[in-house]
Amino acid sequence: MADTQPTLNGIAAKIAELSETFTKYLNENNVPAPTFVADSPTSYVNLSPEIFMVRQKLLDAVNDMWYLTQGPSESIFNYVHTAMPDAAALNTLNYFDFWSAVPIDGSASYADIAKHTSLPEDVVRRILQHAITLRIFSETEPGKPSSRVQHTSRSGALARSSGLRALVSTILDDAGPPMMVMNEALQRYSRGKTELTQEMNESSFALFHSSGIYGKYNNSWELLENDGAGEKKGWRAKNFVEFMRYVKEIFHLEEIVLQSHDWKAAGDVTVVDVGGSAGHDAVVLARHFPNLSIIVQDLPKVRPVFEADLPPDFKSRISFVEHDFFQPQPVEADIYIFKMILHDWPDHEAARILRALIPALKPGARVILFEYMGKQDATEGPPLPRSIQQMGTATDLRLMALFNGKERPVDAWKNIFHAADERFEIASVKANPETFFTVVEAVWRG
């Protein structure tokens, strides 16, 4: 079979071909192509679904090229050697906001940056020297002692986008360290068993934070709510809200919410967005459908962000209620939405969350789940590019580390409704392979 295996030249040819198709599309559609300079566009905009696929295939080929150029051993060696320093450098740059220490259209000395970040100049220099190898910042005169630091497109993207900064903070700073004790958590709690432990206090996160530097927490919501002192209290929750808003933006989730239900035909109804963050989905719904009154429920530290961000026009139709979704639902509504909530919890906890709705459910009330589509069935078409599969597999592992949770296939969501209560009747299941989202609607037949 060796002759059917990819070769360096074969992959190079494939890269040339895919890159040609991709750039032709960009040119024909006037999509500005990013470069490495600070004022470059920060992403490719308006890619059609087909050309998005081409881009992902190109990425797969580039990755294969990277692996094969190094050879198997060195590809592992080089990855292992740099993965943690890369992540630690990016997280540190982000935490100390190096992004604003350097003007986007100018430069700063290492001493300026040290002053801005209150870090020793030598530390600043060392972190930046590694970051520069990743094209995050560059030197005005590379290697010269008089050199100053300037933005590249990659550092500039972070300087420009609070959402991207929040994403780095949430994924690296909140979720990163616990992932490194996943092996120890599996060793302690799941080895020798047929299934992953479903106990929240036996996750990698809970193990890491059992005597952790930030305090003792069982899951990341507890950390988000409680970490920080004085004015910093709740800073992680605030970041998380920004992260969710960013996710909505980059994955165009607005459309998925708008098209999930016939909101207009629903009439003058009350909708509860359970775990609705600071109301970004509520605002989308309220803007398009004047017939909806929406109550956003979430944890206490989310309230200040909701209050700061709610556009005044919507004050009469969107409100915020602090509510722990494990507690009995206090609002008798017509429709409850749960967007990207249940994937954070093991099956029995997810069923508990749905069951907590029951005291408020009137016959005919609807519950709509929005979740990222889990693993594709092999019969559902050709395999997706690995670079797309990784979006799901990486989230899945993060959910395992943080919550002993998982990304689930479509059928699993039906089962969770059934496990919660037989009186939930599945009304529709929409799984869209283009958006990678599943929307499951159930009706309460109590």
Residues at the contact surface with ligand SAM, assessed by CB under 6 A? 221, 244, 248, 275-277, 298-299, 302, 323-326, 339-341, 344
Distance CA 275, CA 240 (A): 12
Smallest separation (angstroms) from ligand SAM to the CB of 241:
7
Smallest separation (angstroms) from ligand SAM to the CB of 119:
31
CA distances from 194 to 77, 175, 190, 347, 375 (A): 32, 26, 8, 16, 20
Smallest separation (angstroms) from ligand SAM to the CB of 244:
4
By beta-carbon distance, which residue lies closest to ligand SAM?
275
| Nearer Cβ to ligand SAM (2/308) | 308
CB 367 within 8 A of CB 444: yes
Distance CA 354, CA 444 (A): 11
SS3 316: coil
| Nearer Cβ to ligand SAM (200/244) | 244
Q: Which position has the token pair 């919660």?
A: 420
| Nearer Cβ to ligand SAM (130/233) | 233
| DSSP string for 360-383 | GPPTT-EEEEEEE--SPPGGGSSP
| Nearer Cβ to ligand SAM (21/162) | 162
Q: Taking the CA of residue 256 as centre, how many other CA atoms within 13 Å lie in the half-sphere pointing to its CB?
A: 29
| Nearer Cβ to ligand SAM (108/353) | 353
| Nearer Cβ to ligand SAM (276/385) | 276
Smallest separation (angstroms) from ligand SAM to the CB of 197:
20
Show Cβ contacts of residue 341 under 8 Å, excluding neighbours closer than 6 positions: 274, 275, 325, 353, 369
What are the φ and ψ backbone dihedral angles of 398, each rounded to 5 degrees?
A: -65, -40
| Nearer Cβ to ligand SAM (60/371) | 371
Smallest separation (angstroms) from ligand SAM to the CB of 306:
10
Smallest separation (angstroms) from ligand SAM to the CB of 219:
8
Smallest separation (angstroms) from ligand SAM to the CB of 415:
21
The b/e string for 182-207 (b: 16+ C-beta within 10 A; e otherwise) is beebbeebbeeeeebbbebebbbbbb
